Amino acid sequence: MAVSSNPVRLAQEDLKSIIERALEEARARGASQAEAAVSQDTGLSVGVRLGEVETLEHQRDRSMGITVYFGHRKGSASTADFSPDAVRATVAKACSIARFTAEDACSGLADAARMARAPLDLDLSHPWNVTADQAIEIAKSCEAAALQFDARINNSEGASLGTHQGLHVYGNTNGFVGGYPTTSHSLSCVVLAGTGEDMQRDYWYSSSRDWQELEAAQDIGRESARRTIARLNPRRLSTRRAPVLFVPEIARGLIGHFTAAIRGSSQYRQSSFLLNSAGQQVFPAGFSIAERPHILKAAGSAPFDEEGVATRDRELVADGVLTGYILSSYSARKLGLKTTGNAGGPHNLLVAPTLAGGMDAMLSRLGTGLLVTELMGQGINMVTGDYSRGAAGFWVENGAVQYPVAEITIAGNLRDMLLGIAAVGDDIDARGGTRVGSILLQDMTIAGD
């Protein structure tokens, strides 16, 4: 099939034909195995600040990557030109590179038996035919709602709207070729309040595969303003040890540190504070994390991973015990294990709540301690688990918020923090690939005055 080197937008069948041509070329050049991925992405992003347009970007990206194997020697190359000559040249470059690389016994395609032979349709594509003018008006209305919320809201870092479409196809010489379209849409707002040295900022956002499921623009603006006002006139705390409650969007990051520690690459490189922890108690009894790759419209859903391996449900943590790692075929071979269908990472992690009643119940359970709504800095050692980050939030007494706090640091060790989780709320934030409610930690060091 002849394909223009600069088409406006190709269909999925066109991308499949490009992959098939690349794989045929690799075989003709003597490769024992090969895999290729083709993607094209289009998008629109607008940003407004104080009622004026600051940014307007149209995105149109595309690429093809080819990886070839000559036995256990590997070579990779990529191009943005889909013409037959460019594809042939890219494959030739990958083959040339492979002949100069060292052998790696763990390299190669995923097992043919693990391929997703009948990929599921997970309803991941909901294009939004919004014009630039319409997008600007939506962003303006979002920011205006924030600025009108309270007279103390006196400045803005702007409101932003983004809408993106992607089409990604992967194929390999195990006979697998598959792809699917995706969309992502988001709307956010950041505003400031206060004067002099007591300037505070906060934000809110909504994101979804389906643009019709975004929160209303005015609601996002008002929530960003409400959060900003709540942070005015913060105090510092004296250094102490106390329970710490992470709001859901912060709790997601804590789970992210855990998943980074159990990735196969962290394990075989021995760069994890949870080294060789499979089968061990990593969280308290009663705590569980499930991977659910097939939730319709979800941010982390995928019918197959980046190697074509079928994704599947699994219980990653059961009753606090780590059941296994997050593995691609390469990392699995390095560890003498089998791939878990996680080339590219996990797909929709669901952290089960242990306490009903939302944030109010979690605050009551906290009693007296720190509610963290923002973290700053990257003071995390993934090898030792040592954790120290700047924080801001609210001091809570008898289950009620007393006053905002800022310019403090919270510190601990991630292994102790995970084992010290006292409760997980049902106020679940479903905006990302990890769905989790607020998380209460029994005890951390809070460094202040």
Q: Where are the alpha helices (H) located in 213-298, listed in sequence order?
A: 217-230, 248-261, 264-268
C-alpha closest to that of 3 among 28, 31, 22, 29: 22
Residues 137 and 247 in one domain: no
Percent of the chain with pLDDT over 70: 98
Residues 247 and 187 in one domain: no
Amino acid making up residue 33: Q
Burial class (CB in 10 A: 0-12, 13-18, 19+), 88: middle
Residues 111 and 29 in one domain: yes
Judge whether residue 6 has pLDDT over 50: no
Residues 103 and 207 in one domain: yes
Does the residue 147 lie in any domain?
yes
* Token pair recorded at residue 111: 């097992």
Q: Give the separation between CA 117 and CA 67, rounded to whole angstroms.
A: 21
Does the residue 370 lie in any domain?
yes
Residues 364 and 222 in one domain: no
Number of domains in the chain: 2
Q: DSSP of 106-152, one letter per residue?
A: T-SPPPGGGB-SS-------------HHHHHHHHHHHHHHHHTT-TT
Percent of the chain with pLDDT over 90: 95
Judge whether residue 411 has pLDDT over 50: yes
Residues 40 and 150 in one domain: yes
Does the residue 297 lie in any domain?
no
Q: How confident is the model at residue 9 (pLDDT cuts 50, 70, 90)?
A: confident
- The answer to whether 81 and 5 are in contact (CB under 8 A) is yes
Does the residue 285 lie in any domain?
no
pLDDT tens digits, 81-124: 999 999 999 999 999 999 999 999 999 999 999 999 899 999 99
Residues 198 and 244 in one domain: no
* Token pair recorded at residue 276: 């060789």
Does the residue 261 lie in any domain?
no
pLDDT tens digits, 262-308: 999 999 999 999 999 999 999 999 999 999 999 999 999 999 999 99
Judge whether residue 159 has pLDDT over 90: yes
Residues 125 and 246 in one domain: no
Residues 160 and 197 in one domain: yes
Residues 137 and 179 in one domain: yes
Q: Which residues contact 198 (CB under 8 A, 6 or more apart)?
A: 232, 233, 234
Does the residue 39 lie in any domain?
yes
Does the residue 283 lie in any domain?
no
Phi, psi of 437 (to 5 degrees): -90, -170
Judge whether residue 359 has pLDDT over 90: yes
Amino acid making up residue 245: L
Q: Give the separation between CA 112 and CA 242, rounded to whole angstroms.
A: 52
Q: Give the separation between CA 440 and CA 96, rounded to whole angstroms.
A: 54
Q: What CATH number corresponds to the domain at position 46? A: 3.30.2290.10
- The answer to whether 426 and 436 are in contact (CB under 8 A) is no
Position 378 scores a pLDDT of 85
How does DSSP classify residue 212?
A: G
Does the residue 274 lie in any domain?
no
**Which structural domain range is residue 182 located in?**
12-230
Residue written as token pair 């042939």: 88
Task: Give the count of beta carbons closer than 10 Å to the beta carbon of residue 285.
Answer: 8
Q: Which residues contact 47 (CB under 8 A, 6 or more apart)?
A: 53, 54, 55, 56, 139, 158, 159, 160
- The answer to whether 178 and 170 are in contact (CB under 8 A) is yes
Q: How far is CA 279 from the centre of its chain?
A: 26
Element (H, E) at 12: helix 12-28
> Per-residue b/e over 215-233, b at no fewer than 16 CB within 10 Å?
bebbebbbbbbebbbbbee
* Token pair recorded at residue 428: 């679940």
Residues 398 and 436 in one domain: yes
Amino acid making up residue 166: G
* Token pair recorded at residue 236: 């510092």
pLDDT tens digits, 217-233: 999 999 999 999 999 99
pLDDT tens digits, 362-384: 999 999 999 999 999 889 999 99
Residues 186 and 249 in one domain: no
Q: How far is CA 352 from the centre of its chain?
A: 19
